[in-house]
Chains A and B, each alone.
Chain A
């Protein structure tokens, strides 16, 4: 089925370890996003990519890096994981960054625990 595919679904890291969350969409969307979701808080934007080859910081970018590998793929990297990065991470995509006219499609999420 068409949509957004995220891997892995679950991950446990030790403090200081690194990892990359993968995201791919097959809807030919231009814009892609990484969010984190913490209890009691709304989804918060980490980074986004308005188009292939561009990336921009969102509300909570510290401790993360991203790569827009091609139009389909947008990865999120934690270079040195910290317990504060324990969260559920969602990748999403849309036709463009001007959100007013286009809906979002979300991946199924990655539950990350940093111990």
Chain B
């Protein structure tokens, strides 16, 4: 099973700040997922990346396969970015089901 650790668990920022959320995993993978869980509970897939960097609007995800580490950055944060951000990595073995981190609760204050 892949162990997935996220940091920090909780993060409070002022509107406009640059945000970084980190994710590390124990077993080598070919792709990692970043998800966003809205305050109402819905979960949305943000990124799936296997190398380098991906960008979508103000969100940027990077991954270093050798170091088994990924980061999610939010530029010019806004209160509507307040959510739980979750990373997930495939496990080892034939099933390769996703193992999820426990999430980072982000609160952006106006």
Contact = CB atoms under 8 A, between A and B. Distances in A.
Interface of A: 33, 40-45, 48, 56, 58-59, 88, 90, 92, 97-106, 108-109, 111
A111 B29 CA distance: 32
B44 A106 contact: yes
Interface of B: 1, 4, 29-31, 33, 35, 41-45, 48, 50, 86, 88, 90, 95-103
Given A40-B102, A90-B43, A98 B97 contact: no
B86 A42 contact: yes
A interface, over-half SS: loop
B45 A109 contact: no
Nearest to A106: B43
Contact of B97 (A45, A101, A105, A108): A45
Contacts of A99: 31, 33, 90, 96-98
B42 A109 contact: yes
B99 A100 contact: no
A42 B45 contact: no
A98 B96 contact: yes
Contacts of A92: 43
Nearest to A31: B97
A100 B92 CA distance: 12
B96 A100 contact: yes
Contacts of B101: 42
Given A42-B102, A108-B42, A97 B96 contact: yes
B44 A56 contact: no
Nearest to A50: B95
Contacts of A104: 33, 35, 45, 98
Contacts of B45: 103-106
Contacts of B4: 42
A103 B96 contact: no
Contacts of B103: 42
Given A43-B100, A48-B95, A90-B43, 18 more contacts: A42-B86, A42-B99, A42-B103, A43-B86, A43-B98, A45-B97, A59-B1, A97-B96, A99-B33, A99-B96, A100-B29, A100-B30, A100-B90, A100-B96, A103-B48, A104-B35, A106-B43, A109-B42
